[in-house]
Homo-oligomer: A and B are copies of this chain.
Amino acid sequence: MSVGPNIAIIAGLVGDPARAGMLSALMAGRALTASELAQVAGVTVQTASSHLSKLSDGGLIVARKQGRHRYFTLSGDDVAQVLEGLMGLAERTLAKPVRTGPKDPGLRKARICYDHLAGEMGVGLFSACVERGFIKDGAEDLELTKKGRDFFTDYGLDMAALQNARRPVCRPCLDWSARRTHLAGGLGAAILTHFTDRKWAWRVPDTRVIEFSPKGLKEYRALCPA
């Protein structure tokens, strides 16, 4: 077997509070600089630098250099997915100590998960896409139907670009708060971008919470009649 040690290495990387904080912050999908990450983790930049090297060596994050800044992001949505899973376990098993703050309900309702919508509204979006026949669970995980492609093209998304990208267009992501699937992948990201570009929705600063304008809510309901 000996698969144990390998997962221990990865889990160990996530197992430090400072690094876990950084990864959580990166779940928001935005690229962050080393100093920003140091701040969210509550450590000095020297310490952060060391952690970031480790995360990078471990392949969980990737760095992009831009001028005198280094921007970090998660290395993929598979990382985000595991982090969501860990949050789900923490929620279930640690039970009591969580259950905090006023921000929690907002998080459950709508939040960003790497680069797509999660929480109740994310789950609702996924359900709607399936019910309206835009997405179908084929052999290969999720499949975009012709109907779905046509609909989202009309909707204003650049579907050709999505389908040419290396990233899967549709991908399921298990929601830690709702315990159900929400829509990840290129399409999930594109839909959220569509909303934020039009100021129908935005991120509450320093949180993963997503807020919708009245117009945005209406647009969401048009998309997800359920």
Interface of A toward B, CB cutoff 8 Å: 1-17, 19-25, 40-41, 58-60, 75-76, 78-79, 81-83, 85-95, 97-98, 100-101, 103, 127, 130-131, 135-142, 172, 174, 180-181, 206-208, 226
In angstroms, how far is the closest chain B Cβ from the Cβ of A166? 13
Q: Report the bound CA distance from A172 to B140 in whole Å.
A: 12
With contacts A17-B4, A137-B137 taken as known, whether A82 is within 8 angstroms of B89 at the C-beta atoms is: yes
Oligomer: number of copies: 2
B6, A90: Cβ atoms under 8 Å? yes
B2, A100: Cβ atoms under 8 Å? yes
A8, B4: Cβ atoms under 8 Å? no
The interface residues of chain B lying within 8 Å CB-to-CB of A226 are: 139
Quick one: which of B21, B79, B92 contacts A59, CB cutoff 8 A? B92
B141, A180: Cβ atoms under 8 Å? yes
Using A4-B17, A6-B98, A7-B87 as known contacts, list a sample of 10 further A-B pairs with CB atoms less than 8 Å apart, ordered by residue number in A: A3-B24, A3-B87, A4-B25, A8-B17, A8-B21, A10-B90, A58-B94, A59-B89, A59-B94, A81-B174
What are some 11 contacts across the A-B interface (CB < 8 A)? A1-B21, A1-B206, A4-B20, A6-B91, A7-B14, A8-B21, A11-B86, A59-B89, A60-B89, A82-B86, A136-B137
- Shortest Cβ distance from A4 into B: residue: B21
B5, A21: Cβ atoms under 8 Å? yes
Quick one: which of B12, B23, B75 contacts A15, CB cutoff 8 A? B12
A90, B139: Cβ atoms under 8 Å? no
A10, B93: Cβ atoms under 8 Å? yes
Q: Report the bound CA distance from A16 to B97 in whole Å.
A: 23
In angstroms, how far is the closest chain B Cβ from the Cβ of A76? 8
The interface residues of chain B lying within 8 Å CB-to-CB of A131 are: 138-139
